[in-house]
């Protein structure tokens, strides 16, 4: 089983590294958000007495990078199904949950690497972590988010056969998750309907935990952030493993 997990993990990394367009696209999108929002809204944020907007925004954009990268790794399931590689993998005498675990860990690793690249860009643009001693905690929250989102994307992809439908469904899910996560704006004094949607959004707790680890500022309790993301990551991985094992070949 360990060998299967390792092979699938390594395959995910190699495949993503060969896809230069996905790598460049993800970085370009993050830079656009950082520059447009970070410098565009910084004066407004400062006048409102909230401090440096780049310090607030950077953890949110790092989370956004992890969100898009991790969720879209699921498209490889649809791709492999269409071109026959998935059939070759699933007919092998190996547990399907091991394949799912390897794919999830591979996608999570890619998400973390992408997040670290964006983190480096934020440093160039002026972001400064509160305390580098808390950086391992930031990596931990990146891992939790990447694991949860990769498993979620793979679970959805397990039920989709149309390659054109997958990006549309993903965008329909991803954009509300991002904009209602507190990545771009503080979570205080919001309308009641938004407050409910934000608290039901799992990415909210990942963004909040990462912001705490990098800047010391947070809305919820850190224990709550860890508990929610960790519990959901376990649940989604279990559900995703079941859906993946039910794929018909």
pLDDT at residue 226 greater than cutoff 60: yes
**Mean pLDDT, the chain, integer:** 83
Cβ pair 157, 166 in contact under 8 A: yes
Note the pLDDT tens digit of each residue in 171-181. Answer: 888 999 999 99
**Rg of the chain in Å (alpha carbons):** 18
Q: 134: which DSSP letter? A: G
Residue 127: its pLDDT value, please? 92
Residue pLDDT, tens place only, 179-199: 999 999 888 888 888 889 999
Average pLDDT (199-221) is 94
More confident residue, 244 or 12: 244
Q: What is the pLDDT of residue 213?
A: 96
DSSP state of 246: T
Q: What is the enclosing helix (H) or strand (E) of 99?
A: helix 96-124
Residue 234, phi then psi, degrees to nearest 5: -65, -45
User: How many other β-carbons are positioned within 10 Å of the β-carbon of residue 232?
Assistant: 19
Within a 13 Å sphere around the CA of 98, how many CA atoms are in the beta-carbon half?
13
The percent of residues in the chain predicted with pLDDT above 70, rounded, is 80
pLDDT in tens, 118-138: 999 999 998 999 999 999 999
- The backbone torsions φ and ψ at residue 24, rounded to the nearest 5 degrees and listed phi first, read -65, -40
Got the DSSP string for 152-216?
HHHHHHTT---TTHHHHHHHHHHHHHHHTTTSSS--SS--HHHHHHHHH-HHHHHHHHHHHHHHS
Q: What is the mean pLDDT of residues 234-241?
A: 88
| pLDDT-derived band at 105, boundaries 50, 70, 90 | confident
pLDDT beyond 60 at 200:
yes
pLDDT digits (tens, 9 = 90+) for 55-76: 999 999 999 999 988 888 777 7
Most confident of 44-58, 95-109, 140-154: 140-154
Name which residue leads in pLDDT, 1 or 182: 182
Tell me the C-alpha distance between 3 and 182, whole Å.
39
């Amino acid at each position: 089983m360990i060998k299967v997990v390792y092979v699938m993990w390594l395959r995910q990394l190699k495949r993503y590294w060969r896809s230069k367009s996905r790598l460049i696209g993800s970085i370009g999108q993050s830079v656009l958000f950082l520059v447009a929002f970070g410098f565009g809204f910084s004066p407004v944020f400062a006048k409102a007495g909230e401090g440096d907007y780049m310090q607030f925004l950077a953890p949110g954009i790092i989370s956004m990078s992890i969100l898009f990268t991790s969720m879209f790794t699921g498209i490889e399931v649809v791709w492999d199904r269409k071109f026959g590689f998935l059939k070759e993998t699933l007919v092998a005498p190996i547990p399907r949950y091991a394949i799912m675990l390897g794919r999830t860990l591979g996608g999570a690793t890619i998400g973390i690497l992408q997040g670290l690249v964006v983190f480096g860009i934020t440093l160039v643009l002026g972001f400064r972590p509160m305390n580098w001693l808390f950086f391992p905690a930031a990596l931990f929250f990146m891992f939790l988010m990447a694991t949860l989102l990769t498993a979620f994307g793979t679970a959805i992809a397990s039920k989709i056969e149309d390659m054109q439908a997958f990006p549309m469904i993903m965008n329909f899910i991803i954009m509300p998750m991002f904009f209602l996560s507190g990545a771009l704006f503080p979570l205080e004094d919001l309308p009641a309907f938004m407050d409910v949607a934000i608290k039901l959004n799992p990415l909210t707790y990942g963004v909040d935990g990462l912001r705490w680890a990098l800047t010391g500022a947070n809305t919820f309790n850190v224990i709550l952030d860890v508990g929610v993301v960790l519990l959901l990551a376990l649940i989604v991985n279990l559900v995703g493993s079941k859906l993946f094992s039910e794929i018909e070949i």
